[in-house]
Amino acid sequence: MAVNLSRAAGPVRRLRVVASRQAWRVIDDLRVEKMALFRSRELPHRGTRVSGTWYEALGTNGDVVYRRSLGDPFERSMEIFQGHRVVREPLPEQDVTMELLVPETSVTSVRLVVDGEEIPYGEADQQRAGGYRLAPAGKGGKDGHGNH
């Protein structure tokens, strides 16, 4: 199976986030000097209902410059034995921690999307649309050695 990487390695931001279906926030922003990323994913044509979870890196005009799909990070369940049957029962929802890799060049913000709806960024009392705003290239995140 071929790995679908972008053609050239470049500066990348590795964002560690804590998320739920209601909100998300960045808890660490690490700058990686050079890394190849998987190719950006396209969505179906407009008017088509979309489902799933993905994140988008946005450029200065709000256009999507990079998109990656994610397996459903919020789906939690366990198998329960009932007599001779095994059934899957949902578990209570809880926050999840994950990493998002985005190209640093031309990206001003990142948003998390579930089933076509943006999840607001921030704590419950300070949520906002538009996602996490990246500092300009070279001015944000820690470098690979933990320095700001």
CA distance 128 to 91: 28
0.85 exceeded by the pTM? Answer: no
27 CB-near residues (< 8 Å, 6+ apart) = 16, 17, 18, 97
Tokens read off for 132: 């996490």
> How many Cα atoms are found within 13 Å in the side-chain-facing hemisphere of 107?
27
Residue % of the chain over a pLDDT of 70 = 79
User: Which pLDDT does position 70 carry in this prediction?
Assistant: 93
User: Which pLDDT does position 105 carry in this prediction?
Assistant: 84
User: Which pLDDT does position 43 carry in this prediction?
Assistant: 77
Domain ranges of the chain: 10-42+50-133
- Stretch 11-38: mean pLDDT, rounded? 94
